[in-house]
Amino acid sequence: MVFWGKLKFTQNMPIKLPSRRLTSCLLILCLFLLALGSTVVSSAPVADPSVWSLVWQDEFNGANGSPIDATKWTAEVGGWGWGNNELESYTSRIDNAFQNNGALTIKAVKEHFTGSDNITREFTSARLISKNKFSATFGRFEARVKIPFGQGIWPAFWMLGNDIDSAGWPNCGEVDIMENIGREPNIIHGTIHGPGYSGANGISSSYTLPDNQPFANAFHTYTVEWEPNVVRFYCDGILYRTTTPANLPPGKTWVFDHPFFILMNVAVGGDWPGTPDTTTSFPQTMQVDYVRVYQRSTPSNTPLILRTDNANEPLALESVWLLKDPFTVSSSKNLSPDQRTRLVLLVANLDLIPGDDATLVSATARDGQGNQIPLTVESVRRVPSFDWITQVVVKLPDAVANVSQAQVSVTARGLTSNEVPIHLVAGP
């Protein structure tokens, strides 16, 4: 039997990746010394949880019927199809975007309209962008939204690289935090696009509500946490996709390391959603309760993730942060000469594919004199319900018996993680 030690935990606080000077997108998240038949009797002290600091927001609390806040948003206009063969003309009119009852309303209207570009369309809507007014590199981007519905309706909350005018699309990068197409009322999509993985080849996942209800029935919160070498997608606080450079097609470039701006729009028609039909009613509205952007207030290169209540409950993982003090354990069976003592490493962003086994990963302990001690990797496996976390179990060899403190790291697919300190205390 394996016993998990109890650690302090804090819910809903995501991980922080290593600084860019590190070559790896891997993280050792949690360290335990385990002895068969023995318990871990002490655990790592942890600092107060890292928090997200609010850096930008729009709560849409303007007077009923008031226009968008022009200091935060620009209404893009035009009916040229926007690269998707869309059928609407986007306008800057208050008819299509306005504040009401503490929310933004983007309204798609069926009407004969000729825009300033002299293109005539049979639908109007709005497309709002924060370009040149707000952009950020990394952070937590979140909106609480009630989406519209109907065949041919295409609401979206998304981001584009602010170098789009010089680099072009898709080289600038695109992050679709939430998209829905009307013929899939129960499904939302989270996607990244970049050079060589754009359009229909974007790297994407979908999410369905647990009760399979249409998303248009209620407000839901859509979030991405974007950090160096990782984008995590959430719906209502549930992580449903983690994307890293390891997910890119071979030889393609990760382009998510520069400022991005925010977009919100409701498209009508287009290659993906198709054309509205007789079942589609108008007007259709997307209501946005708020848009908020956070950044980490206390960056750290040594994240520790764990939640475990007791041996009879499922293991769940949240984020806490490691103090300078290393992880310390003491047990009468620690460092046993028969090498029954194991180290369990939870590694983020190491995606397993069919056929991967213990040979995929190597692990090393570095003592205070700089000596490298290889650790035998016994197994690797995906942590259930956390597709971005891999459990790596290693055996501790006799060579570490006299090491009071070591720095442990793992290497996989040519990438080496940050080092995490541990104390090795042999029992009496």
- Catalytic machinery residues: 174, 179
d(CA 406, CA 417): 15
What phi and psi values does residue 93 have, to the nearest 5 degrees? -75, 150
What tokens appear for 44 in the block? 């790592």
Residue 336 burial (CB count, 10 A): 18
Q: How far apart are CA 106 and CA 108, in angstroms?
A: 7
Closest CA to 230 of 64, 413, 389, 396: 389
Neighbours of 260 (CB within 10 A): 26
Q: Which amino acid is at 392?
A: V
Question: Apex CA 202: angle with CA 196 and CA 207, to 5°?
Answer: 165
Torsion of CA 361, 39, 402, 29, to 10 degrees: 40
H-assigned helices in 60-174: 164-167
- Kindly list the distances between the CA atom of residue 336 and the CA atoms of 43, 113, 340, in Å, as whole numbers in the listed order: 20, 79, 6
How far are the Cα atoms of 23, 304, 346, 350, 360 from residue 414, in angstroms, in the given order? 9, 23, 18, 11, 10
For residue 290, what are the β-bridge partners?
A: 144
Residue 215, both tokens? 């998303």
Residue 293: CB partners within 8 Å, gap ≥ 6? 54, 55, 56, 57, 134, 136, 139, 140, 141, 142, 262
Q: Confirm if 109 and 95 have CB atoms less than 8 A apart.
A: yes
- The pairing of strands 327-331 and 420-426 is parallel
Six-digit token pair at 316?
């769940």
